[in-house]
């Protein structure tokens, strides 16, 4: 059962890509495992062994869903940590093995949680090449492959789907070139529960997921490793999780993650169909109101729940606060930077002028959105935009 957030039509939640509420049944798992497996999973007494069993059961379930061995699942605090561990860990281990900093290649569409560790490595002497995007924020994967091929060893970073425009990246091309020497880290955060699992994902050297994007509590994610992945740890301490991620593990968070992942994967097909339907209803209703906008999303090859619209005639700084005041919960880009006055760097890299990028909204629907809410959201947004247009023309 999905939680109802508010009374219908009071506040309308259109920010699913930033994070979802915890699902009721997952919350029950969290509470039950917290009560039952309360000890430190590293303790060797009976209570500790019980907590360890709960943790390892969760790891096994995640591994069986993601078609890998349990030892190749590392629980983290979320995808920011998983991206950091993958990118810093792979690059530093490769430098140790090959005796030199390896080239890094990534798309300009990556989330800050991937771009920031890449920048850290660049400052430490790793050559970094960021490839350009098309108007939907699709990465130029040929350019990625060309750059990766200039060295006998490299690390490429390419997400599954973009959190802002929703575009699905051409991961198959990169997957077919991934090897023990040509490493690929995939930030797969946005695809889970919205897209059918793509077999290309299983070729990634490392793959990051975040629980709160599909109904687990905030504060838990995973890194899935390929069999031969060589990583240096980023966080050191007690040597938990094969010394890859020191720190006391949380059996309740791990069990909640496994439960939410199982549900998201099981329900994906139905969710996708519903989301596509709601997106069409919303978009048609907005178009019928005669509001001019530019579309930055990709209907054919994008996340079924994501719209990214620009309103070039408006002052973008007022857009989010005005939506919020009218009960529409939307964002302008990555949630972590949506409070910032800066335009989305992804939209700018996709070719929008900074002032147009600033006047953009990301609307990301959740699977429990109802038809009446989709209509009401479009109507409310249309009204608000008309009001803002009038003010702008004065």
State yes or no: is 186 an active-site residue.
no
Q: Using CB under 6 A, which of 197, 265, 294, 335 touches ligand PLP? A: 335
Q: With respect to ligand PLP, which residue has the nearer C-beta, 153 or 335?
A: 335
Residues 106-135 binding ligand PLP (CB under 6 A) are 111, 113
Q: Helices 371-393 & 251-288, crossing angle to 10 degrees?
A: 60
Q: Alpha carbon 21 to chain centroid distance?
A: 15
Q: Using CB under 6 A, which of 52, 84, 178, 190 touches ligand PLP? A: 190
- Beta carbon of residue 9, minimum distance to ligand PLP (angstroms, whole number): 27
58 binds ligand PLP (CB under 6 A): no
Q: With respect to ligand PLP, which residue has the nearer C-beta, 37 or 114?
A: 114
Size of the site for ligand PLP (CB under 6 A): 15
**By CB under 6 A, which span of 47-55, 78-86, 228-236, 364-372 interacts with ligand PLP?**
78-86
Q: With respect to ligand PLP, which residue has the nearer C-beta, 75 or 311?
A: 75
Concatenating the DSSP letter of every residue in 319-386 gives HHHHHHHTTEE-BSSSGGGTTSSSPPHHHHHTT--HHHHHTEEEEE--TT--HHHHHHHHHHHHHHHH
- Beta carbon of residue 362, minimum distance to ligand PLP (angstroms, whole number): 11
Q: Using CB under 6 A, which of 159, 200, 296, 310 touches ligand PLP? A: 159
Concatenating the DSSP letter of every residue in 121-138 gives HHHTT--EEEE-B-TT--
80 binds ligand PLP (CB under 6 A): yes
E strand residue ranges, 203-333: 206-210, 221-225, 294-295, 306-310, 328-329
Residue nearest to ligand PLP according to CB distances in the complex: 78
189 binds ligand PLP (CB under 6 A): yes
Q: Count of CB atoms within 10 A of residue 3's CB?
A: 13
194 binds ligand PLP (CB under 6 A): no
- CA 139 to each of CA 4, 12, 157, 372: distance values in angstroms, whole numbers, following the listed order: 36, 32, 11, 36
**By CB under 6 A, which span of 48-56, 73-81, 292-300, 355-363 interacts with ligand PLP?**
73-81
Residues 1-30 binding ligand PLP (CB under 6 A) are 18
Which strands form 294-295's sheet, in the order they lie side by side?
Answer: 294-295, 306-310, 360-364
Give the three-state DSSP class for 105: strand
367 binds ligand PLP (CB under 6 A): no
Give the active site residue among 186, 323, 336, 389. 336
Q: Using CB under 6 A, which of 15, 72, 187, 373 touches ligand PLP? A: 187
Q: Which of 74, 374, 42, 381 is nearest to 238 (CA)?
A: 42
Eight-state DSSP code of residue 244: T
Concatenating the DSSP letter of every residue in 280-295 gives HHHHHHHHHTT---EE
Residue positions annotated with a catalytic role? 336
Q: Rule CB under 6 A: which residues touch ligand PLP?
A: 18, 78-80, 111, 113, 159, 163, 187, 189-190, 210, 221, 334-335
């Amino acid at each position: 059962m999905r939680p109802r957030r508010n009374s219908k039509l009071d506040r309308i939640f259109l920010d699913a890509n930033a994070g979802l509420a915890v699902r009721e049944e997952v919350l029950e798992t969290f509470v039950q495992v917290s009560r039952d497996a309360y000890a430190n999973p590293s303790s060797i007494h009976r209570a500790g062994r019980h907590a360890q069993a709960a943790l390892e059961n969760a790891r096994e379930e995640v591994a069986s869903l993601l078609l890998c061995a349990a030892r190749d699942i590392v629980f983290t605090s979320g995808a920011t940590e998983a991206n950091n561990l993958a990118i810093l860990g792979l690059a530093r281990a490769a430098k140790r093995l090959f005796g030199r900093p390896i080239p890094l290649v990534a798309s300009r569409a990556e989330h800050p949680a991937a771009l920031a560790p890449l920048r850290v490595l660049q400052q430490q002497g790793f050559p970094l090449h960021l490839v350009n995007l098309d108007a939907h924020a699709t990465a130029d994967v040929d350019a990625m492959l060309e750059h990766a091929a200039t060295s006998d060893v490299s690390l490429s970073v390419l997400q599954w789907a973009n959190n802002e425009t929703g575009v699905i990246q051409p991961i198959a091309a990169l997957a077919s070139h991934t090897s023990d020497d040509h490493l690929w880290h995939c930030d797969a955060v946005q695809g889970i529960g919205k897209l059918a699992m793509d077999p290309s994902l299983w070729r990634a050297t490392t793959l990051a997921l975040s629980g709160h994007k599909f109904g687990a509590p905030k504060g838990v994610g995973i890194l899935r490793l390929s069999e031969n992945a060589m990583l240096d740890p980023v966080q050191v301490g007690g040597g938990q999780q094969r010394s890859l991620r020191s720190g006391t593990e949380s059996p309740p968070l791990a069990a909640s993650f496994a439960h939410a992942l199982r549900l998201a994967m099981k329900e994906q097909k139905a969710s996708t169909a519903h989301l596509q339907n709601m997106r069409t209803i919303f978009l048609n209703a907005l178009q019928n109101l005669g509001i001019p906008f530019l579309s930055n999303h990709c209907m054919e090859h994008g996340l079924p729940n994501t719209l990214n619209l620009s309103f070039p005639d408006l002052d973008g700084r007022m857009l989010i606060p005005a939506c919020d005041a009218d009960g529409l919960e939307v964002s302008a880009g990555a949630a972590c930077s949506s409070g910032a006055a800066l335009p989305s760097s992804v939209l700018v890299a996709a070719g929008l002028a900074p002032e147009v990028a600033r006047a953009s909204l990301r609307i990301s629907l959740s699977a429990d959105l109802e038809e009446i809410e989709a209509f009401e959201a479009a109507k409310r947004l249309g009204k608000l935009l008309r009001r803002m247009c009038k003010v702008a023309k004065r």
